[in-house]
Amino acid sequence: MTQLLLAAFFFFAIHGLVSATGLRGLLVARLGDNAYRGLFSLASAGGLAWLIMAYGHGDAGYISLWAELPGVRWLTIALMLPLLVMGIAGLTMKSPTAMGQEGALADPEPARGILRVTRHPFLCAVAGWGALHALVNGDLASLVLFGMLVVLAINGMASIDRKRAAGAGEAWERFAARTSRLPFAAILEGRNTLNLAEIGALRIIGGVVIWLAILHFHASIFGVAALPQ
């Protein structure tokens, strides 16, 4: 468990205590933007590899915290499909909340596609994925790993919102008024409308294909079957 705790702290620290704070600006000023991004990418990749190895190693053994609740596995399977579509769309669509894409706020309608659902689609997908996997696994190692990712994703949304509000002013306020952090909140409140055509058939189909592949290969890749046995 020591390795997992250290890996989780390192991964959280470089994202939540460096990238999401004023320390990032100090490092960029000292190193330059390109050098900072390169070092941050290397640290992130190394931290992620450390996390995966530490979690897979299971040096503390399996420590159960709660038994699997009825229906939770099927709920996880069902919700992973929209989360995958959300994540794919978030990575492949232009967004004012993505790194280096702040200029998208100048578009006539920046709140389009998956951004109508949430202005942080990728981070929402990570948070949902982490929460569901922590819940369905119910062990200490999973709570550490997936819980850290949930906290990191939620903290990232708040951090990005603060940065954009400080840097873009009125343009950000207009965008934020049409969008929400919580998926579907802006739509339910009448501030936006769902438009699946803007998300795109290829992204939706891609999500379905990846979802089916995960269901089929989950046991061989991760050692645990996704579908109930």
pLDDT tens per residue across span 74-123: 999 999 999 999 999 999 999 999 988 888 898 889 999 999 999 999 99
Q: Tokens 């919102």 — which residue?
A: 161
Of 140, 145, 117, 120, nearest to 130 by C-alpha is 145
Does residue 211 come out as left (phi exceeding 0), alpha (psi in the -120 to 50 range) or beta?
A: alpha
- Residue 196, phi then psi, degrees to nearest 5: -65, -30
C-alpha 14/C-alpha 4 separation (Å) is 16
Q: What is the pLDDT of residue 1?
A: 80
Whole-prediction pTM:
0.89
Q: What is the pLDDT of residue 58?
A: 67
Below-70 pLDDT ranges, the chain? 20-21, 58-61
Q: Tokens 């739509």 — which residue?
A: 187
C-alpha 100/C-alpha 28 separation (Å) is 14
Beta-bridge mates of residue 64: 139
C-alpha 192/C-alpha 112 separation (Å) is 9
Q: What is the pLDDT of residue 207?
A: 96
Q: What is the pLDDT of residue 133?
A: 95
Count CB atoms within 10 A of the CB of residue 129: 21
